[in-house]
Chains A and B, each alone.
Chain A
Amino acid sequence: KQEVTQIPAALSVPEGENLVLNCSFTDSAIYNLQWFRQDPGKGLTSLLLIQSSQREQTSGRLNASLDKSSGRSTLYIAASQPGDSATYLCAVRGSNAGGTSYGKLTFGQGTILTVHP
């Protein structure tokens, strides 16, 4: 059974810092991996999706990397801003090799990020 772990559980940084959020997963047979952002009381917003054949994806100040063989992904946020404060969730999508995943995502517990001015 796939398990996804995110470290740290919470992170507080001053504005302008570069930071790294970590995600690890136990089963490397994944189809792809997604990073989401969740604001308090809201749903999830997809930030980046990395296919299993890719090493990284970039969007603006965000860069996500994937090392499938070691079961790890990182989300790098450059020049953090107070508006980046949110919970960041990592989710892995099981491989369709078994024919039953149908896009099933397994989520980590999230990292609560606070960027203070």
Chain B
Amino acid sequence: DSGVTQTPKHLITATGQRVTLRCSPRSGDLSVYWYQQSLDQGLQFLIQYYNGEERAKGNILERFSAQQFPDLHSELNLSSLELGDSALYFCASSPGISISTGELFFGEGSRLTVL
């Protein structure tokens, strides 16, 4: 158990809809990262928040947005969903602002299926 909690574990929705994925980081970790894992693209970095502020942005679509709340939990919002958005979405956390040791603690993921 990494200590990172993600909900929901599974989500099935239709094209055009909007969903919210939630992540609670490990106790004491201030950074939250969101990754997307699909069969053809592998694990892709989306965005990082540190103590409520956006710190780094990767290949995140404009239809996607994220935020980190004062209690440090984070939400990833996916809107106008397309079939290609079907993937596993992972949240990871780390103690500091930078990945100095490379050690990220990943949750078990939220599997999104868009029909």
Tell me whether A and B are bound partners: no
Binding site for A on B (CB under 8 A): none
Interface residues of A (CB under 8 A from B): none
